[in-house]
Amino acid sequence: MGSGTFITPTRRLDLLIKVLLVTLFAGLQLYTYGQVGGTPVDTVRSDSARVKTIRVQNHMEDLSKQYDVGDLFQQVFNPRKTPDSIFRRSPITIIPNIAANPSIGAQIGIKAVAGKKLGGDPNTLLSVASTSASITTKGIIYFYINHNLYTPGNKWNLQGNIVISKSVTPDYGLGIGNANSGTANDQILANAGRQARSLHSIYFNVREKIYKEVVKNLFLGAGASFEMRRDIEDKSAVSGLTPYDIYSDRHGFARDQYNAAGFLFNAQYTTRDNQNRAYKGFYADAGIRLNQTWIGSTKNAMQFTTDVRKYFSLSKSHPEHVIALWNWGSYLLSGDVPYLELPGTARDQSFRSGRGYTTGYFKGTRFNYSEVEYRFPILNNKFVSGVTFFNMQTANDEAGTKLFQTWQPGYGGGLRILFNKATRTNLCLDYAFGKYGAKGFFLGLNEAF
**386 in a structural domain:** yes
| Residue pair 126/117 in contact by the 8 Å Cβ criterion | yes
The answer as to whether 231 is a domain residue is: yes
Residue 21 has pLDDT above 70, yes or no: no
Q: What percent of the chain has pLDDT over 90?
A: 45
**Is 1 part of a structural domain of the chain?**
no
2 inside domain? no
Tell me which residue of 147, 31, 8 sits closest to 442, measured CA to CA: 31
pLDDT at 96 over 80: no
Q: What's the pLDDT band for 140 if we cut at 50, 70, 90?
A: confident
Residue 109 is assigned to a structural domain of this protein: yes
pLDDT tens-digit series, residues 362-378: 999 999 999 999 999 99
Instruction: Inform me whether the pLDDT recorded for 106 exceeds 90.
Output: no
Flag whether 3 is in a domain.
Answer: no
Query: What pLDDT, on a 0 to 100 scale, did the predictor assign at position 119?
Result: 86
Q: How far apart are CA 332 and CA 305, in angstroms?
A: 9
Question: Any residues with CB less than 8 A from the CB of 177 and at least 6 apart, and which?
Answer: 190, 191, 192, 194, 362, 406, 408, 435, 436
> Looking at 216-351, which runs of residues are DSSP E strands?
218-234, 258-270, 281-291, 301-313, 322-335
Q: What is the mean pLDDT of residues 15-25?
A: 47
Q: For residues 311 and 276, is the Cβ–Cβ distance under 8 A?
A: no
3-state secondary structure 311-348: EEECCCCCCCCEEEEEEEEEEEEEECCCHHHCCECCCC
Give the Cα separation of 367 and 361 in Å (integer).
12
Mean pLDDT lowest for which of 27-31, 100-104, 143-147, 442-446? 27-31
Please report the pLDDT score of residue 387 as a whole number.
96
Enumerate the β-bridge partners of residue 212: 156, 220
DSSP class of 192: T
* Contact criterion met (CB below 8 Å) for 191 and 234: no
- What is the domain range of residue 310? 9-445
**CA–CA dist 396, 405 (Å, integer):** 8
**Predicted local confidence at residue 54, as pLDDT:** 36
Is there a domain that residue 192 lies in?
Answer: yes
pLDDT band for position 355 (cuts 50, 70, 90): very high
- CATH number of 27's domain: 2.40.160.50
CA–CA separation, 305 and 286 (whole Å)? 6
* Residue 78, in any domain of the structure: yes
Predicted confidence at residue 104, as pLDDT, reads 65
State the pLDDT confidence band at 400, using cuts at 50, 70 and 90.
confident
Strongest mean pLDDT among 8-12, 57-61, 213-217:
213-217
Please name every residue paired with 371 in a beta bridge, in sequence order, or none if there are none: 326, 391
Q: How many CB atoms lie within 10 A of CB 243?
A: 23
**Count of domains observed in the chain:** 1
Find all residues with CB under 8 Å of 283, minimum gap 6, and list them: 47, 49, 268, 269, 270, 271, 272, 307, 308, 309, 310
pTM of the model: 0.81
Residue of 400, 351, 360, 35 lying closest to 194 (CA atoms): 360
pLDDT at residue number 37: 41
